[in-house]
Amino acid sequence: MNRIIFLYLGFVSLCGMTAQAQAPSDYSNKQQLAQRVKALASRYSQLVKLTSMTKTLGGSDIWMLSIGTGNLEQKPAVAVVGGVSGDHLFGVELAVGFAEKLLANASQDSIRTLLDQQTFYVFPNMSPDATEQYFAKLQYERTGNARPLDYDRDGQKGEDGYDDLNGDGKITWMRVLDPSGTYLPNPKDPRSMILADPAKNQRGQYLVLSEGLDNDKDGQFNEDGEEGVAFNKNNTYNYKNFQPGAGEHAVSELENRALYDFLYDAFNVYAVVSFGSENNLSTPQQAGRGGESAPSGSRRPGGRMINSWSERDAQVNGAVSDLYNNIVQLGDAPKQKAGNGNFADWAYYHYGRLSFSTPGWWLPDTEKDPVASYFKWADAQGITGNYTPWKTISHPDFPNKTVEVGGIHPFVLHNPPYQMVDSLVAKHTDFVIKLTDMAPMIDIVDVKTEKLDGGLTRVSVKVLNKGAFPTLTQVGERSYFLKHVAVEVKTGSGQKVISGKNRQTINALEGHGFTELSWLIQGSGKLAIEAGNASSGKKTVNVSL
């Protein structure tokens, strides 16, 4: 008996060690991500449909998880998008981690009810070719896919890539002692370099460059390597040609086109949550006039291009920002200008949905220098392995000059240490779930009937939006593409609508807003009134004439 107990305890211990060994200790590469999403589709087969929407030029799958019960396309939906920027692996973890934590709690009544009422479309990684650079033999921050490009437009592709001069497997920085330099070591932390400030009587001492060689002898370093088009620069809103990583034209890439093809057919999506460099969650968008004159002869209502959030939509963004900050509690993020052709702006201005974006993690810039602020925080947390000490090397492009290689490691400024990921994913999962409480939701209330002469009945109702979100954004109202709320009177035998329309669409309803409708109906018996659309839900009431 004792031997049996001993063997059992040894087996349990071994299982525990095996489970611990299999627990992720770092960000997931594309093979590990595939295992995670396939495990979800297998474990929760009644709730999850897994689709590979396309393969990138690098052969990577673009995965989509469709989560919910029943007819997914006919329920209000949230699209959750990760991997928006290839150097932001944390965005991948936030997206796939949301799906994992949501489904792990699917047996709870509240989550089960949510999945019955709403749909989630989760796109874990839109930049898999780029994120793989984190796991490669040579690690450097990359945002572009595997498409060969001539970044410096000299007629050659990939002739000036990255060079690991100190053999540490990471591309860091070079500082070159030069009287024309504009940088100097940070007086508060010499591990980082800062621009000299003449107002403080500072004089530059160094040129600061990306670690590498000028392989094509054009005076630039690492400007034309294997990196291709960036997902977050290839979208239609504010797209700029001839920018590094933007592509030859907007939506030139398979991954961008696949996502557009799906989302433009997904009329049930009322909000997009993306995890990337753009941020309107810790600090919301401000309303503006957005005035740029349209071309002469334009038929666009208002005659202007929209380039700022409307007042009503900005108010919604403010409420969502308050919710986000209360749950996640990261404090104010460093300000960053939105890039050209980015996905989050496209989701609002061109897709017409409420678009909420966040990097999900940041550190306050307490030292007015992101690198020094990071080192101060990391030192306090006991976090190491994020820095290579400056080391003098012989550099063929700078003969007779002192050149040192070192500095902060790639990825650490944008991605938290992995031990922090689970708790941050939990908070962002809570946020997205709470966000769904604000979804537009159509109801029909205050149903009244009034008998009139001649076998007529006046029927009046209020069509109410019970949600805090509007049924359409104000930019969506102007798109002529999104579906308005439709109201239909379904008459029976011997019944006829004398006044009012059998079927009509109504203007967008603000959060908790309503509109009143009435009809004159001839006949007797029962009829049905239905109101709603895919993104706001549908409600039907029966009326006795």
Please say if the pLDDT value at position 2 is more than 70. Answer: no
Please say if the pLDDT value at position 145 is more than 80. Answer: yes
d(CA 13, CA 246): 52
- CB-based contact 354:76 (threshold 8 Å): no
More reliable by pLDDT, 231 or 154: 231
Cβ-proximal residues to 42 (8 Å cutoff; 6+ apart), any chain: none
What is the number of alpha carbons within 13 Å of residue 91 lying toward its C-beta?
30
State the amino acid at position 301 in one-letter form.
P
Mean pLDDT (whole number) for 5-17:
39
Indicate the average pLDDT of the chain.
Answer: 90
User: Which H, E and C letters describe 79-124, residue by residue?
Assistant: EEECCCCCCCHHHHHHHHHHHHHHHHCCCCHHHHHHHHHCEEEEEC
Please say if the pLDDT value at position 301 is more than 60. Answer: no
Percent of the chain with pLDDT over 70: 89
Identify the pLDDT of residue 24.
Answer: 67
Mean pLDDT (whole number) for 432-437:
98
What is the number of alpha carbons within 13 Å of residue 164 lying toward its C-beta?
13
Identify the pLDDT of residue 159.
Answer: 54
| 481 burial type by CB count under 10 A (0-12 exposed, 13-18 middle, 19+ buried) | exposed
CATH number 3.40.50.10860 given to 22-133+229-361+415-437: no
Q: 171-187: buried (b, 16+ CB within 10 Å) or exposed (e) per residue?
A: bbbbbbebeebbbbebe
pLDDT in tens, 158-205: 555 788 999 999 999 999 999 999 999 999 999 999 999 999 999 999
Binning pLDDT at 50, 70 and 90, where does residue 484 land? very high
Please say if the pLDDT value at position 299 is more than 70. Answer: no
Binning pLDDT at 50, 70 and 90, where does residue 352 land? very high
DSSP single-letter state for residue 395:
-
- Reported as type and span, the H/E element at residue 459 is strand 456-465
User: Which of 60-74, 287-301, 375-389, 525-539 is the least confident region?
Assistant: 287-301
Taking alpha carbons only, the member of 414, 427, 424, 439 closest to residue 324 is: 427
Identify the pLDDT of residue 158.
Answer: 58
Taking alpha carbons only, the member of 383, 536, 545 closest to residue 466 is: 536
Binning pLDDT at 50, 70 and 90, where does residue 14 land? very low
DSSP annotation string for 193-240: EEE--GGGT----EEEEESS--TT-SS-SS-BSS---BGGG-SSTT--
CA dihedral 277, 282, 284, 285 (to 10 degrees): -20
Beta strands in 341-441 (DSSP E): 354-358, 387-393, 403-408
Identify the pLDDT of residue 148.
Answer: 81
Indicate the class that CATH gives domain 442-544: mainly beta
CA dihedral 315, 320, 326, 329 (to 10 degrees): -110
- CB-based contact 496:513 (threshold 8 Å): no
Task: Give me the residues paired with residue 51 across strands.
Answer: 64
More reliable by pLDDT, 423 or 304: 423
Mean pLDDT (whole number) for 256-260:
98
Q: How far is CA 19 from the centre of its chain?
A: 31
DSSP single-letter state for residue 469:
S
Identify the pLDDT of residue 389.
Answer: 96
Binning pLDDT at 50, 70 and 90, where does residue 366 land? confident
d(CA 285, CA 345): 11
User: Which of 96-105, 333-342, 522-531 is the least confident region?
Assistant: 333-342
pLDDT in tens, 498-516: 999 999 999 999 999 999 9
Residue ranges matching CATH 2.60.40.10 in the chain: 442-544
Identify the pLDDT of residue 307.
Answer: 84
Judge if pTM exceeds 0.85: yes
Mean pLDDT (whole number) for 431-459:
96
Residue ranges matching CATH 3.40.630.10 in the chain: 22-133+229-361+415-437
d(CA 392, CA 370): 24
pLDDT in tens, 402-422: 999 999 999 999 999 999 999
Mean pLDDT (whole number) for 99-121:
97
Taking alpha carbons only, the member of 132, 150, 139 closest to residue 228 is: 150
Q: How far is CA 491 from the centre of its chain?
A: 44
DSSP annotation string for 516-529: EEEEEEES-SEEEE
pLDDT in tens, 33-53: 999 999 999 999 999 999 999
Binning pLDDT at 50, 70 and 90, where does residue 338 land? confident
Mean pLDDT (whole number) for 252-269:
98
- Check residue 247 and give left, alpha or beta (phi > 0: left; psi -120 to 50: alpha): left
d(CA 172, CA 184): 17
pLDDT in tens, 19-30: 333 456 899 999
Please say if the pLDDT value at position 302 is more than 80. Answer: no
Cα angle, residue 178 at apex, residues 175 and 183 outer, rounded to 5°: 55
Cα angle, residue 197 at apex, residues 192 and 198 outer, rounded to 5°: 150
User: What token pair was written down for 462?
Assistant: 């209020």
- CB-based contact 488:538 (threshold 8 Å): no
d(CA 25, CA 212): 30
- CB-based contact 145:247 (threshold 8 Å): no
Identify the pLDDT of residue 390.
Answer: 96
Please say if the pLDDT value at position 8 is more than 90. Answer: no
| 347 burial type by CB count under 10 A (0-12 exposed, 13-18 middle, 19+ buried) | buried
User: Which of 104-113, 238-247, 300-309, 390-399 is the least confident region?
Assistant: 300-309
